[in-house]
């Protein structure tokens, strides 16, 4: 998988690509990346990349030319010319990170992890020209219902959610029981010491009884999900991913207060 990040501030995503598990994945050749400074594609001697919006209003808009030249430099071609679709189909998926996009979920992260190349456009100021979106962007993605000062952090969040799902980056076992893997939140974790701050590790986790541990963990996941994200339980029921065992536990949690 190759990530291309088109940005005015490459130092923000660079720190992420150069650290920890990502750096290892790059070393192993599982991930490749390319940080493209949009300013390098500006046309004037001041390297201008922003201009005022048509129609007036606060702030500036990213100029079309530097951005389009940056896109073309990584092999992206316009999907439309003069409003008409072009025939060129590309294997590269172009993502514009914006609060107006569809919200990132674990499901969308899995979908993106199956692409060969992802190209991220990081917006600054009031965003980018709509015609660049119409001509070059495949998917607009938001990381949540709040507004960040720029797209770099949001793009880095999406890249983090996606690259760890690629085979060989982390173990399949780690992915199996984490939050959202099957629509539920994660169970609580404990490590040494056995007693911390007067609180003892639950006995079942010290018992070595694998079946009881599995049941306890499932119950904790259901309790947590019911308490903080009840809509996820509704979603699981819709998708048919709640087992009969889980449904019985929910009944027990809700009606016995146990
Ligand atoms: N840029 C600014 N805020 C954002 C958000 N919430 N998601 C994606 N990109 C953004």
Q: Model confidence over 46-77: pLDDT tens digits?
A: 999 999 999 999 999 999 999 999 999 999 99
Q: Is 149 in the pocket of ligand 1 (CB under 6 A)?
A: no
Q: Is 142 in the pocket of ligand 1 (CB under 6 A)?
A: yes
- Banded model confidence at residue 256, pLDDT cuts 50, 70, 90: confident
What number is the average pLDDT over the span 151-174?
95
If DSSP codes are grouped into helix, strand and coil, which group holds residue 131?
helix
Position 149 scores a pLDDT of 93
Q: Is 144 in the pocket of ligand 1 (CB under 6 A)?
A: yes
Choose among 104, 151, 117, 124: nearest CA to 48: 124
Position 135 scores a pLDDT of 97
Provide the 8-state DSSP code for 211: H
Burial readout 5-32 (b: 16 or more C-beta within 10 A, e: otherwise): bbbbbbebbbebbeeeebeebbeeeebe
Q: Which atom of ligand 1 is nearest to the CA of 151?
A: 1
- Banded model confidence at residue 175, pLDDT cuts 50, 70, 90: confident
* Cα 3 to ligand 1 centroid, rounded to whole Å: 18
| 100-143 confidence digits (pLDDT tens) | 999 999 999 999 999 999 999 999 889 999 999 999 999 999 99
Q: Encoding tokens for residue 45? A: 């001697």
Q: Rounded distance, CA 95 to CA 111, Å?
A: 13
Q: Is the pTM of this model over 0.85?
A: yes
Q: Rounded distance, CA 72 to CA 112, Å?
A: 21
Q: First-to-last CA distance in the chain?
A: 47
Q: Is residue 228's pLDDT more than 70?
A: yes
Among positive and negative, which fits the CA dihedral 87, 92, 98, 100?
A: positive
Q: Rounded distance, CA 109 to CA 165, Å?
A: 8
* Cα 109 to ligand 1 centroid, rounded to whole Å: 16
Q: Rounded distance, CA 37 to CA 124, Å?
A: 13
Give percent of the chain with pLDDT exceeding 70: 98
Residue located nearest, by CA, to atom 7 of ligand 1: 142
Position 174 scores a pLDDT of 80
Residue located nearest, by CA, to atom 2 of ligand 1: 148
Q: Rounded distance, CA 180 to CA 195, Å?
A: 30
Which residues, listed in sequence order, are joined to residue 34 by a DSSP beta bridge? 4
Higher pLDDT: 171 or 214? It is: 214
Q: Is residue 87's pLDDT more than 70?
A: no
Relative to beta strand 2-7, strand 32-37 is parallel
Q: Rounded distance, CA 125 to CA 151, Å?
A: 10
Which residues, listed in sequence order, are joined to residue 128 by a DSSP beta bridge? 62
Q: Rounded distance, CA 243 to CA 236, Å?
A: 10
* Cα 157 to ligand 1 centroid, rounded to whole Å: 10
- Domains detected in the chain: 2-172 (3.40.1280.10), 177-256 (1.10.1270.20)
Burial of 201: CB neighbours in 10 Å, binned 0-12, 13-18, 19+: middle
């Amino acid at each position: 998988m190759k990530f291309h990040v088109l940005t005015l501030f490459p130092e923000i995503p660079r720190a992420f690509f150069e650290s920890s598990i990502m750096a290892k994945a790059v070393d192993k050749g599982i991930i490749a990346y390319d940080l493209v400074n949009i300013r390098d594609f500006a046309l004037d001697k001041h390297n201008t990349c922003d201009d005022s919006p048509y129609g007036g209003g606060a702030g500036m808009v990213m100029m079309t030319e530097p951005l389009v030249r940056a896109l073309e430099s990584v092999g992206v071609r316009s999907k439309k010319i003069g409003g008409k679709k072009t025939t060129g189909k590309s294997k590269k998926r172009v993502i514009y990170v914006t609060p107006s996009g569809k919200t990132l979920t674990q499901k969308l992260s899995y979908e993106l992890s199956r692409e060969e190349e992802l190209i991220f456009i990081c917006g600054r100021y009031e965003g980018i020209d709509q015609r660049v979106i119409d001509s070059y962007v495949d998917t607009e993605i938001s990381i949540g219902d709040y507004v960040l000062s720029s797209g770099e952090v949001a793009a880095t969040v999406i890249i983090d959610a996606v690259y760890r799902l690629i085979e060989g980056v982390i173990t399949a076992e780690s992915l199996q029981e984490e939050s959202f893997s099957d629509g539920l939140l994660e169970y609580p974790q404990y490590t040494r010491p056995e007693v911390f701050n007067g609180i003892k590790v639950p006995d079942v986790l010290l018992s070595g009884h694998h079946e009881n541990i599995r049941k306890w963990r499932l119950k904790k996941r259901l309790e947590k999900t019911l308490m903080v994200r009840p809509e996820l339980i509704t979603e699981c029921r819709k998708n048919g991913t709640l087992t009969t065992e889980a449904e019985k536990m929910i009944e027990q949690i809700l009606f016995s207060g146990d």
